[in-house]
Amino acid sequence: MRAGKSMPPSARHDGPKSEQNASAPRLRRPLHPYLVLAAAVILPGGGQVLNRMPTRGLIMIFFMLSLGIVTMELAAPGRSFIGRHAGGFFVYAIAVMDAYMTARYRWALFRQRLSAPSL
Domain that holds residue 107: 42-114
Q: What is the pLDDT of residue 38?
A: 97
Helices of type H across the chain: 16-23, 33-42, 46-50, 54-74, 81-84, 86-115
Structurally, the chain folds into a number of domains equal to 1
Query: Does some domain include residue 102?
Result: yes
Query: Does some domain include residue 61?
Result: yes
Question: What would the pLDDT profile of 33-89 be if each residue is shown by its tens digit?
Answer: 999 999 999 999 999 999 999 999 999 999 999 999 999 999 999 999 999 999 999
For residue 101, pLDDT beyond 80: yes
Query: Does some domain include residue 33?
Result: no
Query: Cα(15)–Cα(65) distance, rounded to whole angstroms?
Result: 55
Query: Does some domain include residue 23?
Result: no
Q: How many CB atoms lie within 10 A of CB 12?
A: 11
Record the pTM: 0.74
40 and 46 in contact (C-beta within 8 Å)?
yes
Query: Does some domain include residue 91?
Result: yes
